[in-house]
Structure 1
Amino acid sequence: MHLPLINRAQEHGEKIAILVPNVEAFTYRDLLYVSSQIATNLLQDTEDLEEQRVALMIPPGFDYVATQWGIWRAGGIAVPLCVSHPRPELEYAIVNSGASIIVAHPDFEEILRPILLALRNSNAQAPNLRSILTSETLPNPVDRLPEVNLARRALILYTSGTTGKPKGVVTTHQNIQAQVTSLIAAWEWTSRDRILHILPLHHVHGIINVLTCALWAGAECRMVSKFDAETVWQCIGDGDLTLFMAVPTIYVKLMSTWENTNPERQKILSAGCAKMRLMVSGSAALPVRVLEKWQSISGHLLLERYGMTEIGMALSNPLHGQRLPGYVGVPLPGVEVRLVDEDGTLVPSGSPGEIQVKSHGVFLEYWQNPEATATAFQDGWFCTGDLAVVENGNYRILGRMSVDIIKTGGYKVSALEIEEVLRSHPDIHECAVVGVDDPEWGERVCAALVLHPHRQLTLASLRSWAKEQLAVYKVPTQILVVTELPRNVMGKVTKPAVVELFR
């Protein structure tokens, strides 16, 4: 029995699956055949990899997809490596996952060679660690491939490690199928869709939301090796894409490029956006001003959604109907979401609480870390560590409890909320808000500001403005102190300043 993803691909035969703009197009038949060759090569003389971990370090493109599918079809667990990570991070992922095979593009042979040599000579890794280059000749004919049960482990993705060593998030084929089918239903993917893939392929956003959803639906996935604003605009300007997904930083870069082109080309690029049926933003908070500016350029009110490595996507604004700026919508099909307080008690509507999620898409475990796995769940619910509030039936993210929630004088203040308010000031171009330890208040709210060119801020005007604006967001009355920063601290920016917000 084949995996459902493979069975579905067989229905699309000569339809284009992967297109590398201005280079080559590959059909679903190509993808099925080459992935079966790769699976045969991985198996060698064995019948089933039986969940051996196979690390892959391949740039976006057909080789990446065929290798990922080949690993799955051979019964292995795919461990995607970030193509831009330095040696220590690559070595950590390889060792922690216990990878027995590494498949790499020739461009990365030089950075991987010393890692492989060190691991083969150490006691931490088996001396027979295999390495395969994507340029090697693949076997022909193809051997009979194993049957792979949906309950098997399929993928290990590593968390960012902001509060400790990165953890390997293990998802099964069944988890992936649940995540994909939920998005297929919510965003109405069809085989007629064409999406431009510009996201990293070691994160759930790029692997699940774009690549696997597209291939599950029988759609066409266009892949570029790395993000380049001009290249992306050229693809959009061609006018035949139906979907686009990106992170806020990418939208900011695209806006800057659009603003620096001539009016005639701006119209062409905007028209390309307007022909799409959906544009999505995720993986980070989307500032309202970015959303509004992008809408003026593209005609699209970006669909915001919320998810994470451990759960896939959990919340989404609607494909049809009203989308509220600053909100991430409601639970996706097949996903249950609740908000609880520090005692695990459900909070009433309008009160902040930790997001907890239950669905078939929630990950299986942290790789070889049963303690962390047990801690991550409460009565079968996954504890995300993110704080949110439900207002008008929609979820609004307040931030990461360990990072973005500032406890000052008995109040819990959302750094993301304060940032959004500060960005609305006419003189402020960008800002970042953090909590600073304070013996009296626990934490003081501190913001680093970057002003628009040729703008000035006075303490009196900023104090008056902020007291009024922050009061709307239920932030305690604040006193503001403005201090100029040395230019080398913030880099080449215009009149940076640090602002402390505290009583």
Structure 2
Amino acid sequence: MELFGRPEVKVFAERPSTIGQLLTDTAARFGEKQAVVTEERTLSYQELDGQSTTLAANLQRRGIQVGDRVGAVIGNCAEFPIVVFACAKAGAIMVPVNVKLQVEELQYIIGHSKPKLLIVEAEYAEKVKEAVRKSGLQDLEQPELFVIGNENSYGELLDESAAFEQVDVDEVDGAFILYTSGTTGRPKGAVLAHINAVHSVMNYKRRFETDDSMKTLVAVPMFHVTGLVGQLLHMFYVGGTVYSMRRYQNEAYIQLILKHEVNFLFNVPTIFIMMSTSEEFQKHSFGFVKKVAFGGSPIYQQTFQMLKKAFPKAQLHNAYGATETTSPATLMPVSYPESKVTSVGLPVDVADIKIVDPEGRTVPDGESGELYIKGPMIIKEYWDNPAANQSSFTDGYWHSGDLGIMDDDGYVYIRDRKKDMINRGGEKIFSIEVEDALKSHPDVVEAAVIGEPDPVFGEKVKAFVVGQNLDPDDFSELQAHCKKALAKFKVPEEFVLLESLPRNASGKILKNTLKETGGRSNA
């Protein structure tokens, strides 16, 4: 079908029409079953459906119409999914905002998305109020603010006397605006339409073979696409149960998995690495875990082997995607050869992925290039950003900015971010290749590699490492280790030992921060 003006987009013939319809259908099948279990409360599917309709009615009472934005500065709590489905039913576009943002960052997002109404947790209310004041919006444009918690003005939005009026919400209408990480310049507001999210949850179900027996634990932020689509909406589509944590804590996370026998885990590899170092984790069996998914950063052989040992009965799924792909673009199938473990999987069923050279020409299988991705899960547009819309899409394909290859069997391997590739005197170096070599050292837990300006070669390789038993003043052993696996020009010339790597809310390493802060170096 033609979608957002893009021709020949593959879609699933049978699909829910909107996100609101997705919940209503599931609630009809699993009414009294637990849908959401948070640290404060539990909601059944029937309660989630009913309370979101009540909230939608109160949004309408306050003038919210199809296409209006509703900002939400809410962490992992029961109110988050209620707001998700209330906005979906009213036809509003929810703008979930990273709760960790500071006033200036909030100020930009509020000023750019121009929400008509804001729902905010009490602990973030003051900085949001200040951001609204500084946003540049005129008095008549400033959003009405409702606070969950202390003053609890949010309670006004749950008035059961409000009558919900059914509105015409089309599947191509915007459902969310998710602001991208903004590791360079201003963040862009990615508009996820209903049809995008619906196809993504269907892709997860088909590839992972999930069903209503699934129980997941959301420790990543729900305002990020993995928590929102990969876990929350995915589970509500199949009829599973979502347990949630407000903030990730290693021991508490492990205890909740054991307590509820959570059988579907989805995290960045770092969380699994952290889990594996816990004595609590090591003394228990996790044979009840059925599915383990991971994405957001490279998976190393040793991490994969650790997961295989820790979750002996689980299917292990690598995943690759972005906010712009509404979560998954590629997913590992239920079974695959061991030789493919470092792959991010096969394109999802409705995806069209091609690997192109700098001129946009498709390269042969096995050759490296940038991933161009097309499909019904690709975002509708960037909100109020004509320049980004013009530069980010070609013939319906979104430019991922990621470099990778596709093998003869169709499996995709991510090699690097386009902007993270290092050019040392004309020699192109994939930072992931160097990171793999560093990670294979038994004392290295994590590694991030960047290009450091060099007066002779243009760039040289600089490594930031996290580990144990490493000498911060002598990295000759690590260099010798790298030389066994890498050409000499790829071996890091500078090292910095860190306690942890900087990350954004989605768990991705902020290489831009590493470039800006530098750190002490040792050759």
Q: Normalising TM by the smaller chain, what interval?
A: 0.7 to 0.9
**Any idea what the Cα deviations from partners look like across 1:322-376, whole Å, max 9, x if unmatched?**
3533211110111111100001111112210101101011001110011211111
Cα distance in 2, alignment partners of residues 27 and 175 from structure 1:
26
Provide the rounded CA distance (Å) in 2 between the counterparts of 1:132 and 1:442. Answer: 52
8 Å Cα contact 2:466/2:500 also seen in 1:
no
Tell me the matched-pair count.
478
Distance in 2 separating the partners of 1:292 and 1:116: 48
> CA 1:24/1:162 → structure 2, altered by over 3 Å: closer, same or farther?
closer
Equivalent residues of 1:446, 1:499 under 8 A apart: no
Kindly provide the CA deviation profile for residues 28-51 of structure 1, in whole angstroms up to 9, marking residues without a partner as x.
Answer: 1111111111111111164x6121
Query: Residues 262-341 of structure 1 correspond to what in structure 2 (within 5 A)?
Result: 266-268=282-284, 271=285, 273-299=286-312, 300=314, 302-312=316-326, 313-322=328-337, 324-341=340-357
Bigger relative contact order (CA 8 A; separation at least 6): 2
TM-score between the two structures when normalised by the length of structure 1 = 0.87
Change (3 A) 1:361 1:449: closer
Cα deviation 1:167-189 (Å, max 9, x = unaligned): 00001111111111111111112
User: Is 1:410 aligned to 2:431, yes or no?
Assistant: no
- Counterpart of 1:241? 262
Equivalents in 2 of 1:438, 1:415: separation in Å?
A: 16
Shift of 1:95: 1.1
Q: How far did 1:108 drift?
A: 2.3
Distance apart, 1:455 and its partner CA: 6.0
| 1:16 corresponding residue in structure 2 | 34
In 2, Cα distance between equivalents of 1:407 and 1:346: 22
Q: Does 1:379 align with 2:389?
A: no
> Equivalent pairs: percent with the same residue?
26
The equivalent of 2:378 in structure 1 is 362
Give 1:317 deviation, angstroms: 1.3
- Which residue of the partner structure matches residue 214 of structure 2? 193
- How far 1:461 moved relative to its partner? 5.7
Distance 1:433 1:364, change over 3 A: same
- The aligned counterpart of 1:116 is 132
**CA deviation after TM superposition for structure 1 residue 118, in Å:** 4.0
Question: How far did residue 131 of structure 1 move?
Answer: 1.0
Is the 8 Å Cα contact of residues 17 and 215 (structure 1) preserved in structure 2? Answer: yes
* Distance 1:149-1:438 versus aligned 2 partners, 3 A rule: same
Correspondence for 1:71 among 74, 87, 111 = 87
Q: Which residue of 1 aligns with 2:232?
A: 211
Distance 1:104 1:456, change over 3 A: closer
Change (3 A) 1:427 1:220: closer
Name 1:37's counterpart in structure 2.
Answer: 54
Q: CA deviation at 1:9?
A: 2.9
Give the one of 46, 69, 76 matched to 1:53: 69
Is the Cα–Cα contact under 8 Å of residues 464 and 498 in structure 2 kept in the other structure? no
Q: Distance in 2 between matches of 1:76 and 1:173?
A: 11
Q: Does residue 1:468 correspond to 2:484, yes or no?
A: yes
Contact residue 171 and residue 193 of structure 2 kept, 8 A: yes
CA 1:478–1:181 in structure 2 vs 1: closer, same or farther (change >3 Å)? closer
Q: Letter of the aligned partner of 2:274 in structure 1?
A: K
Deviations 1:24-71 (A, max 9, x none): 32111111111111111111164x612111001122122111011111
Q: What is the TM-score when the length of structure 2 is the normalising length?
A: 0.84
Is 2:164 the counterpart of 1:143?
yes
Cα distance, 1:360–1:145 mapped onto 2, change above 3 Å: same
Q: Which residue of structure 2 lines up, in the alignment, with residue 252 of structure 1? A: 273
State the distance in 2 between where 1:488 and 1:194 align.
33
Q: Provide the rounded CA distance (Å) in 2 between the counterparts of 1:451 and 1:107.
A: 35
Q: Deviations over 1:248-298 (max 9, x none)?
A: 2211221222xx34xxx7343xx2x32111011111222332232333333
- Which amino acid letter does the alignment assign opposite residue 105 of structure 1? E
Give the aligned residue type for 2:247.
Answer: K
For structure 1, the 5+ residue unaligned runs are none
Which protein is bigger by CA-based radius of gyration? 1
Q: Secondary structure at the match of 1:402?
A: helix
TM-superposed CA distance for 1:401, in Å, is 0.5
Q: Does 1:398 align with 2:415?
A: yes
Q: Is 2:198 the partner of 1:177? A: yes
Which amino acid counterpart does residue 486 of structure 2 have in structure 1?
L
Which residue type is aligned with residue 353 of structure 1? G
CA distance in 2, matches of 1:497, 1:430: 17
CA distance in 2: counterparts of 1:388 and 1:290, whole angstroms? 21
Q: Secondary structure at the match of 1:357?
A: strand
Paired residues of 2:434 and 2:491 also in contact (CA < 8 A): no
